[in-house]
Amino acid sequence: MIELIVGGARSGKSSHALRVAESLPGNRHFIATAEARDGEMADRIARHQKERSASWQLTEETCCLSGQTPRFAEPDVVLVDCLTLWVANWLGSGNADGWPEEKRRFLDGLAASRAHWLLVSNETGMGVVPADRLSRQFVDESGRLHQELSAIAHRVTLVTMGIPRVLKRREDE
């Protein structure tokens, strides 16, 4: 099962994903893609950590999410927070040419996985087109990733102001 949960900054998407995950049976795994590169980000990470119960197993993975997909199977519940940080990490890594292959391996791994995946991401395509090249590349790559994930996802939810709205639900769900 693949669930994509998107929304703007501070929309409530991470809290929604946690509630969904904690309502499911199975072993809970949290894959964090953020790095505490400054005090403000460290505070954000600490707030997110406090929201999770002790039942979660944490993996920190900033770039190679594709390597994580084979680790999990039924009855694992895997929450990845967040995909847009993952994209930004790749684009800023100095190895951005490796991004298309990493994305393809991740999508293939998700499609083959028997785990329940909850993928949190920021909706970046609802604003103006950014002025600089790297920001435009980030918005474009995030949008392409979201479209590809939406195509294989069983459920896609948009969270706005703490209100989740299911955009897609496959009939076999």
Written as six digits, the tokens of 62 are 């900033």
Output phi, psi for 94, to 5 deg.
Answer: 85, 0
Is residue 154 annotated as a catalytic residue, yes or no? no
Catalytic residue among 29, 48, 116, 154: 48
- Active-site residues: which are they? 48
